[in-house]
Amino acid sequence: MNYLIKQFITYLHIERGLSANTISSYTRDLKDLEVFLKTRDKNLINCDGNDLFLFILNMRQNGKAARSIARIVATLRSFFTYLIAEGERDDNPTIHLNGPKLELTLPRVLSETNMDKLLQGPDKGVDLYIRNRAMVELLYSSGLRVSEVVSLTVNDLSLDVGFVRCWGKGYKERIVPLGVPAVESIQKYLDGPRQRLKKKVNTEAVFLNSRGSSLTRQAVWQILKAWAKERNVEDNIYPHKLRHTFATHLLDNGADLRSVQEMLGHADITTTQIYTHLTRKRILDVFRQAHPRAD
């Protein structure tokens, strides 16, 4: 790999704290660019805007979807901005490079009725069942990402004051409040089931499997699917949908956008604003269904 790409990837990992998946995508895009430039006897230092335009055109002709093209353009902008900052280039060849305009995709959420169904059910008193309930309550009460849930330690929980600490993207710390049902469910899990699951394993992870190891993201997904099926919630359930649901229900019930942004750990409020589109759409649907002169 070109040393400039290696330096950039190190920068993304160490200084920006991007996820492994994001870094993998950036790496793949830049390797593709490097291969393309070689066919034109160019490199990352002497290429120009026309070279990048032809690269994007080549990606389109090879069947890349609009969303992938948009990501590639974002990769190029970030990379060449980095080269300028490092003194490797004094010009930015991406200045006139435009990606495709993407349609706004609204996140899918559970209705409050379905969310209530998901949180109902008899207390079976089994360790894994108590763990699963605590986890579902936490996901909805906090809006944590699944990666944040599986990395939680017992030291991150302050149940006496109703807060949880987590480390989001870029290793940024945030403190999120918890509702009373979530606090009670988590405390019940910690009071016995977790200790029995832990066995002799030396771990501080909150959510453990039957062998005493920390749950994986895939395991959380499977647990949530089974939990929803048991309660006849037929909607396509996955952990991030509960994060979307958390944010939407807060806004539906009067929370302000800045507070929701803080709780979700979004660096940019425009990321959080997508939930306001969802709320407005719901209001419009209610109006069209209820008002006699809506049509």
Three-class HEC string of the chain? CCHHHHHHHHHHHHCCCCCHHHHHHHHHHHHHHHHHHHHCCCCCCCCCHHHHHHHHHHHHHCCCCHHHHHHHHHHHHHHHHHHHHCCCCCCCCCCCCCCCCCCCCCCCCCCHHHHHHHHCCCCCCCHHHHHHHHHHHHHHHHCCCHHHHHCCEHHHEECCCCEEEEECHHHCEEEEECCHHHHHHHHHHHCCHHHHHHCCCCCCECCECCCCCECCHHHHHHHHHHHHHHCCCCCCCCHHHHHHHHHHHHHHCCCCHHHHHHHHCCCCHHHHCHHHHHHHHHHHHHHHHHCCCCC
Rounded Cα–Cα distance for residues 170 and 88 (Å): 25
Position 246 scores a pLDDT of 95
Residues whose CB falls within 8 Å of the CB of residue 74, separated by 6 or more in sequence, listed in order: 99
Tally the C-alpha atoms within 13 A of residue 174's C-alpha that lie toward its C-beta: 22
Rounded Cα–Cα distance for residues 284 and 262 (Å): 27
Position 41 scores a pLDDT of 95
Lowest-pLDDT range, 38-42, 98-102, 219-223, 224-228? 98-102
In the structure, what pLDDT confidence band is assigned to residue 104 with cuts at 50, 70 and 90? low
Position 278 scores a pLDDT of 75
Q: Catalytic pick from 16, 217, 266, 282? A: 266
pLDDT at 132 over 90: yes
pLDDT at 281 over 80: no
pLDDT at 119 over 80: yes
- 169 a catalytic residue: yes
Residue with tokens 């002497």: 46
- 238 a catalytic residue: no
Rounded Cα–Cα distance for residues 110 and 118 (Å): 10
Q: Catalytic pick from 42, 217, 240, 282? A: 240
Q: Catalytic pick from 13, 169, 174, 188? A: 169
Average pLDDT over residues 218-241: 89
Rounded Cα–Cα distance for residues 113 and 279 (Å): 16
Residues whose CB falls within 8 Å of the CB of residue 105, separated by 6 or more in sequence, listed in order: none
Dihedral angle at the C-alpha atoms of 208, 214, 216, 222, nearest 10 degrees?
A: -10
In the structure, what pLDDT confidence band is assigned to residue 1 with cuts at 50, 70 and 90? low
- 145 a catalytic residue: yes
Position 217 scores a pLDDT of 86
Position 12 scores a pLDDT of 87
Task: Report whether 127 contacts 136 (CB < 8 A).
Answer: no
Rounded Cα–Cα distance for residues 26 and 170 (Å): 16
Q: Catalytic pick from 133, 145, 194, 241? A: 145
Q: Catalytic pick from 89, 243, 244, 249? A: 243
Q: Catalytic pick from 26, 82, 189, 275? A: 275
- 243 a catalytic residue: yes
Average pLDDT over residues 250-267: 91
Q: Which domains does the chain have, with CATH numbers?
A: 3-85 (1.10.150.130), 112-235 (1.10.443.10)
- 275 a catalytic residue: yes
pLDDT at 162 over 90: yes
**pLDDT digit string, tens, across residues 164-197:** 999 887 678 999 999 999 999 999 999 999 999 9
pTM over 0.75? The answer is no
- 131 a catalytic residue: no
